[in-house]
Structure 1
Amino acid sequence: MIWQKSNRADPRAREIADRHYNRQKPGTPQFVPPGRCLVLYAETETGKAFWVTSWPFAEYVKHQWAGAWVCSAFRNENAGVASEMIKQAVAATIAHFGAPPPQGFITFIDRKKVKPTMVHGKPTWGRTYELAGFKPVGETKGGLLALQLLPEDMPPAEEAQNE
């Protein structure tokens, strides 16, 4: 397990979060949406990474995947193979929260701010998520690409390291 548990105000993770495209106010101490969350941090000889699982209460969610766990941020700065890191983060989320919700895991990608990976000559967004088992399932009203990982496709629970 590459990940260690962190928190919503960890300065090491915040430094990486400040470079993530969806960061609204770089430099502020907290970088996680309000509500239930799991923050993971990784540091290897070659790089650093952070991951945030948010679990918003369904009544406050406006997208069609209300109730799902949400990967609200993931940034890998050469810490390892991204798709394997995603699988481990999902496993750590299951270990932290318990059985996944029926909607599983969802993540959103802003194709205006993320460079695509070319696959067989076609631009593809979310390739590392797809390699981790996520499947494209549509778009939000605002045009974000949605990728989903259903519970039956998730890896077994595995605890992240403690801080």
Structure 2
Amino acid sequence: MIWQISNRADQRTREIADRHYNRQKVGTSQFVPPGRCLVLYAETETGRAFWVTSWPFAEYVHHAWAGAWMCSAFRNENAGVASDMIKQALAATRSYFGEPPPLGMVTFIDRHKVHPTMVHGVPTWGRTYKMAGFRECGETKGGLLALQILPKDFPSAEEAIGQQIVF
């Protein structure tokens, strides 16, 4: 497991979050949407990364995947193979929150702010997520690409470093 438990105001994690394209207020102490969340941080010999799983209450969600866990942010700055890191973050999320909700997890990609990977000459967004088991499932009303992984495709639960099981 590469990921360790962090929090929504951790300085090391905030520094990476400030460089993520969806960061709304660079420099503010908190970088996670309100509500339930899991913040993960990784540091290796070659780089750093962070991941945020948000679990908003369905009644406050205004997209088609209300009730799903959300990957609010993932940024890998040479810390490892991104698709492997995503799988580990999914395993840590499952360990932290329990069984995934029926809609699994969703993430959104702004194709105007993220460069595509060329696959057989075709621009492809979300390739590392797809390699980790996510599938395209539509778009938001605002035109963001939606990717989803269903509960049956989640890896087994695995604790992040520093995670404490609450009984």
Report the TM-score when normalising by structure 1. Answer: 0.99
Alignment of 1:16-95 (within 5 A): 16-95=16-95
SS in structure 2 opposite 1:89?
helix
Deviation at 1:6, TM superposition (A): 0.3
Which ranges of 4 or more aligned residues in structure 1 deviate by more than 4 Å? none
Q: CA deviation at 1:51?
A: 0.2
CA drift of 1:108 comes to 0.2
| 1:1-163 alignment, distance < 5 Å | 1-162=1-162
Match for 1:74: what amino acid?
F
State the one-letter code of the partner of 2:97: F
The unaligned stretches of length 5 or more in structure 1 are none
Q: Per the alignment, in what secondary structure is the counterpart of residue 37 of structure 1?
A: strand
Q: What is the number of residues matched between the two proteins?
A: 163
Give RMSD over aligned pairs: 0.6
SS at 1:49 equivalent:
strand
Q: CA deviation at 1:62?
A: 0.3
Displacement of 1:28: 0.2
User: Any idea what the Cα deviations from partners look like across 1:124-160, whole Å, max 9, x if unmatched?
Assistant: 0000000000000000000000000000000000000
SS at match of 1:14: helix
Deviation at 1:8, TM superposition (A): 0.2
Q: Distance in 1 between matches of 2:67 and 2:92?
A: 18
Q: What fraction of aligned residue pairs are identical, expressed as a percent?
A: 80
- Cα shift readout 1:55-103 (whole Å, capped 9, x = no counterpart): 0000000000000000000000000000000000000000000010000
Q: Distance in 1 between matches of 2:111 and 2:137?
A: 15
TM-score by length of 2: 0.97
